[in-house]
Amino acid sequence: MLCEWPEQNGPAYINAKEALTKALQDPSSDSARAAARMAFAAAADEAGILRE
């Protein structure tokens, strides 16, 4: 996500980077991990690469 992401300026991408950073800083936090998953999916959707 940090090196080769199709859309690196969108709000979902920025939100996902922040959420993933928080989840990495506190890996025991279920809520941080859930937020990171949701944010990542939103960023993938924004970039047009989400697969369901």
Query: What six digits make up the tokens of 34?
Result: 């859930």
Alpha-carbon distance 40 to 51, whole Å? 12
In this prediction, the residues of the chain whose per-residue pLDDT falls under 70 are: none
pLDDT at position 3 is 85
Q: How many CB atoms lie within 10 A of CB 49?
A: 11
Alpha-carbon distance 49 to 42, whole Å? 10
pLDDT at position 6 is 92
Query: What six digits make up the tokens of 33?
Result: 């991990």
pLDDT at position 45 is 96
Q: How many CB atoms lie within 10 A of CB 46?
A: 19
Model confidence, pTM: 0.89
pLDDT at position 16 is 97
